[in-house]
Every structure is written in C-alpha cells, then in structure tokens.
Structure 1
Amino acid sequence: MQKTSSRLLALLSLLQTHRDWSGDDLAQRLDITPRTVRRDIDRLRELGYPILAFKGPSGGYRLDAGSHLPPLLFDDGQAVALALALQTAATSTTIGEDAARALSAIRQVMPSRLRQRIDMLQVTAVQPPESGNTSTAGTQLLMELSRVIHAREELRFDYGHDATGPAGQPRRTQPHHLVTWRGHWYLIAWDLDRDDWRTFRADRIRPRTPTGPRFTPRELPGGGVTAFIIGRFRGTDGSACDWPCRGEVILNLPAQAVAPFAQDGIVEALGPDRCRLTLGSWSWTGLAAAVGRFDTDIQVIGPPQLTSAFAQLAARYANAADTPPSAPTPGTDTSR
C-alpha cells in the first residue's frame, strides 16, 4: 500500500480529471479500502480542496471550485503543455504580462528535468505583415467586460484609437458578447445612441464608472454570434470565412487560453472557464483534429458532420492504440 502522502497525491490526481468517482472505484484504483478513501477525502478537505460528496449506491466524490486556489497537481505531460501554452501566450497575446508571471511561478516549482525541457524551447511570435498589431486589451479590462455582460448592465465608455491615449468619443451600450477574431478582442453591443448593433475593439475601450441599469438582452441578428461577426467582417480582413467545413463547439477552457491558438476562428467567452469556438477547415476530420488539440472536454454544437468526424477519429485512434508496433525492417534507419 502507498504511503499516506503519495496516496493523497494519487487521489488528488484522480479527482482532477473532472468526473464523478464512486468510493468503490477510488478504492479499487488506489488499492485501499472505502474507509481509507473517506479518511483521505477528509484530509484533502482540511488542506483546502473543495471536494463534494454525492449520494448513490456506493457514494461518490467530485472536486469542485472553491473560494481560493489550492495547490494543483500536474503530471509531466500536463506541466510541459501548460508551460508551453503560457510561453506562447506571453509572446503573442493580450495577456502577455500575466502569462509571463504565471510561467515564472510554475517554472520555479518544476523538477529540474522538466525545467530543462522548457528552457530548451524558446518561442518568438512573428506577426504576418498583413495582420497588423494584435489587440493590447489587458486582463482587467477583459474581466470587467465579461462581468457587465454577465450582469446585463449598461456600459458607458470612451472609445478612441488607443485606450491609453486621449479620451475618445463617449458611447452608451448594452453589451452582449465578448469575442476574438483574428488576434483581436471585440465587444458586441447595442449602441443606445445610434439605435443599432456595433462591434468595438476592446483595446480602444476605456470604461466609465459606475455602470448603468440592468437591461433585457435583444436578440442578436444573423442567427448567432458567429453569423454576426462573419457578416460584419466579411471581405475586410481576409478569406477566413470561406472554409468549406465550419463547426461550433464548447470547450471547458477560458476564452483567453483558446484565443491564441484559434486565430482564424471565433472565440466567445461563456464564463471564466468555458467558451464557444467556431472554427473552419478543409475537411470535417481535419476540423475535428484541430479542435481535439485542446486538452479539455468538448461539446459539439454542430453540425452533425462534425460529430460524425469525431466518431471516425475516435475509432481510428482506438485502433492505433490497440495495434502493436511493427518490427523495423532490417537495415532501416530508425534514428530519425
């Protein structure tokens, strides 16, 4: 049987897989008794991990969100992937400063073998000449825009060429969605003074306080956020709208984490840790593979062809996992 400390880490690792575990399943996976599972759950709760219990034939447990962030546990692959994502974000996105600080904090607690792997990889972001500068909207601004959208509060702000420069033209809006499109953050809102829908570059917004009264959201024209954004920007910033296959999914990741890797897609924030991604590709299987690179649960909104493509890829990957590696042909160089 494992020592208590290592057993607690193993239990925490299982609970972090974002699924419900029965007491019997945890006991079987850890080779301990259900009574020991209950004691270990109590120990993790004392350390600050918000673990919920639910009723059932054997009872069960789920790791929930808490009021503070307790220590997290990552395996080697997850730690390297997280550090790589933060390094990329630190060089090419609107959350560069926060990403750099998070990368520094994670690097300090990494074992030396992982730090060496990360240090060998240096990422430099190069923007295509035609793409221009990416949005410089900061994390605090994005969080405030997300808050007023969720609260359905009217937002007053100054809008100009640069949010750090002189105050621009004042606007009164009913904010509806915060999205990314080709490296920029945009606020979709109903403009109260112009009595029409508008899209505003987030990096040009300077909010005023206090916010206005609550409102009842209007229905967005075009059938949804994706159709609205594509209609507004069609022909103005490239041919990203012309993919023959386009699908929509929901990812259990923050929009800020998805946006750097979906430059040709539309990312809509649905909450602090959920977003809607609309992406295009030359084929449905190619689109499914592109979405699958995000290390999180995926909910397919549509169309049905994308669901079928995920099923096809799942069968292929399952067959690949069950197929034993073939022996190399004599004289074949396998060092590459």
Structure 2
Amino acid sequence: MLETSARLLRLLSLLQTHRDWTGTELAERLDVTPRTVRNDVERLRTLGYPVHATRGAAGGYRLGAGASLPPLLLDDEEAVAVAVGLRTAAGGSVSGIEETSLRALAKLEQVLPHHLRRRVNALQTYTVPVPGQDGPRVDADVLTTIAAACRDHERLRFDYRDHAGAATLRNVEPYRMVHRGRRWYLVAWDTQREDWRIFRVDRIAPRTPAGPRFTPRPLPDEDVAEFVSARVSAAPWRTRVRVTVHAPAAEIAARVPGFAGSVEPVDDTTCVFVTGSQDPASLAAWLGLLGADFTVHDAPEVVPHLRALADRFARAAGGE
C-alpha cells in the first residue's frame, strides 16, 4: 500500500484525467478500501482541490474547477509539451503574453527533473526559426474574446481592416478560429452579407458588449482547417493558373504543400494543378519545380516568363 502522501498524489493524478471515477474503481487502482478513498478525497478538498461527488449507483468522483488554481500534476510528456508551448508563446504570434509565458516557464523549469530539462533545452537549442516567417502579432485579449463568443454562441461586433487598410463594421456569428502558419483566422457567418466569411484576427477590433445569442448553423465544411486553407491560399493570388501536369495526381500532391493549390486527377498518368501567385515570374519558377512536363492554360502572362526561364536554363546547360 502506498504511503498517504504518495497515495494522494496518485489519486490526484487519476482525477486529473477528466473522467468520472467510482469509489470502487479508485479503491482498486490505489489498493485501498472505499472508505480510505473517501478520506483521501476530503484531504484533497482541504488542500483546495474541488473534488465533486455524486451519490447513487452511477455516482462517483470528478475534479472540478474551483475559485483558485490548485497545483497540477503533469506526466513527463505533458511537462515537456507545456514547457515547449510556453517558450513558443514567449516569442510567438500572440502579443501580451510574452512576459507571463516567461514567468510561467521559469517556475516550470525550476521543478523539472534533470532529464526533462535536457529534453526541453535540446529542442530549443537545435530548433532554428526560419528568417522572414514572422507574422502579425495578435492580442491575447482579442483571442480570448473571440473564443468566448464562439463557445457561448454569441454574435460578435467588430471593426475590421481589409488588406488596403479600409475599416468596416462587421456583425457575425463566430464559429471557429484556425491557426495557420503565423496567422489566426476567424470562420464566421456574416449576418449582413448572409454568407460565410474568413477574417484575419490581427485585423479585428472587437466592440463591446457582445451581441445576442444565436442558434448554430452547420459549418461550411467538416474540415474547417482545410476550408480556411483553400480560401486563404487563393485569396491573395493576382495571377491564377491552371496547368495539366503529365504525372499522377498522388505524385504531384506529395511534392506541393496543401496551401499551394489543388491537385485533381484526370487519369492514371495526368492531373490538373491549380495554383497562383502575386508575381507571374515567381509562378513560372514554381511550376518548374513540379518535376514533370506540364501545359499551361488560361494564363498568358506566365508564358513569357516560362520562355525566359527556358532560355536561361538552356544557356546555363550550354556553358554560355
């Protein structure tokens, strides 16, 4: 049988798994009597842990939320995940939580066992950020305001700046936030335009108070992340191109990231790739990386750049 202090820690660990436990189940796990479980639950309550109990045949114990935050128990993998997340948040895309994240990280690293601290430090040391990938910073209060509106099914009113800087007042039913790359996006039903819209969260300035509650409607796509990726990828394209690629669709799809465009099979040896770019010259270079022959459709502005690249490569191959 475990000593009382060790048993309390084990009991707390079980209760933190976010499930209901019967007294019998806990007694079996801890190798004690149900009466001892009841006594240990009372000890946890005196320490500030809000352990809720329900009576009856289907009754049991569950750890609830209290008025203050009691200490948490984390296993090794959870501790590493939290430490890495805090380090990322300290220099990430959410503004206003950098100092708080560093304070929390200092507390966590102080009590991390040596072998876990080595894992976290190794990840930090041997992870190199890619230059030029910094995105716009998002205020943490804006994120929490939007998340609460999504959770409570409350309409959201906010001032929104478009890519040109023009501001409009929007009234929406918020549903999901998607973190893609270094940006946050809100998927919402625009009540004025009566259509689904995607908003960059860094361009949102919420107004208070929140609007009335709404009845949720079906999402535009079961895969909300894919819905956002497809819309966001295509939105900024000034030059859009459709090409027939003389290679299997699976082969081309494996070579291009999902946000770069769409790949649709034609037959076993041919597919159609739809993509785009702000710059026709960059788009021509990108198509050259497909690693297969292709035919361009409906994008005459790309053709001169393809010819220029072909001439340049021919000169390079000829030693000129």
Superposition pairs of residues 190-209 of structure 1, within 5 angstroms? 190-209=189-208
Q: Deviations over 1:181-201 (max 9, x none)?
A: 233111223334545432211
Corresponding residue of 1:60:
60
Residues 92 and 125 of structure 1 are in contact (CA less than 8 Å); yes or no, is this contact kept in structure 2?
A: no
Superposition pairs of residues 51-90 of structure 1, within 5 angstroms? 51-55=51-55, 60-90=60-90
Superposition pairs of residues 150-299 of structure 1, within 5 angstroms? 150-160=151-161, 169-177=167-175, 178-221=177-220, 225-226=224-225, 228-235=227-234, 239-240=257-258
> Secondary structure, in 3 states, of the residue corresponding to 1:175?
strand
Q: 1:243 to 1:3 in 2, by over 3 A?
A: farther
Q: Which segment is superposed worse, 137-146 or 190-199? A: 190-199
Matched, 1:106 2:137: no
Distance in 2 (CA, whole Å) between partners of 1:176 and 1:156 is: 10
Q: 1:147 to 1:84 in 2, by over 3 A?
A: closer
C-alpha displacement at 1:136, in angstroms? 1.4
Counterpart of 2:140, as a letter, is: T
C-alpha displacement at 1:41, in angstroms? 0.7
Residues 173 and 191 of structure 2 are in contact (CA less than 8 Å); yes or no, is this contact kept in structure 1?
A: no
Distance in 2 (CA, whole Å) between partners of 1:7 and 1:90 is: 36
Q: Please give the root-mean-square deviation of Cα atoms over the aligned residues, in Å.
A: 3.4
Q: Deviations over 1:109-162 (max 9, x none)?
A: 335564455445425552365xx4334112211110122233443333222369
Distance in 2 (CA, whole Å) between partners of 1:187 and 1:45 is: 40
Identity of aligned residues (%): 48
Distance in 1 (CA, whole Å) between partners of 2:196 and 2:58 is: 53
Counterpart of 1:172, as a letter, is: R
Corresponding residue of 1:122:
124
> Secondary structure, in 3 states, of the residue corresponding to 1:21?
coil
> Secondary structure, in 3 states, of the residue corresponding to 1:19?
coil
Q: 1:219 to 1:68 in 2, by over 3 A?
A: same
TM-score normalised over the length of structure 2: 0.61
Q: Deviations over 1:86-113 (max 9, x none)?
A: 2234334426614333212222333556
C-alpha displacement at 1:84, in angstroms? 2.5
Residues 160 and 170 of structure 2 are in contact (CA less than 8 Å); yes or no, is this contact kept in structure 1?
A: no
Q: 1:75 to 1:154 in 2, by over 3 A?
A: closer
C-alpha displacement at 1:233, in angstroms? 2.8
Matched, 1:34 2:34: yes
What residue ranges of structure 2 are gaps of 5+ in the alignment?
Answer: 237-255, 265-320
TM-score normalised over the length of structure 1: 0.59
Distance in 2 (CA, whole Å) between partners of 1:232 and 1:120 is: 37
Distance in 1 (CA, whole Å) between partners of 2:171 and 2:58 is: 52
Corresponding residue of 1:143:
144
Distance in 2 (CA, whole Å) between partners of 1:222 and 1:58 is: 38
Distance in 2 (CA, whole Å) between partners of 1:191 and 1:59 is: 44
> Secondary structure, in 3 states, of the residue corresponding to 1:143?
helix
Larger radius of gyration: 2
> Secondary structure, in 3 states, of the residue corresponding to 1:156?
strand
What residue ranges of structure 1 are gaps of 5+ in the alignment?
Answer: 245-336
Corresponding residue of 1:252:
none
Q: Deviations over 1:163-212 (max 9, x none)?
A: xxxx8513222132222223311122333454543221101111223333
C-alpha displacement at 1:50, in angstroms? 1.9
Q: 1:225 to 1:105 in 2, by over 3 A?
A: same
Q: 1:62 to 1:200 in 2, by over 3 A?
A: same
Corresponding residue of 2:247:
none
Q: Deviations over 1:238-282 (max 9, x none)?
A: 7416599xxxxxxxxxxxxxxxxxxxxxxxxxxxxxxxxxxxxxx
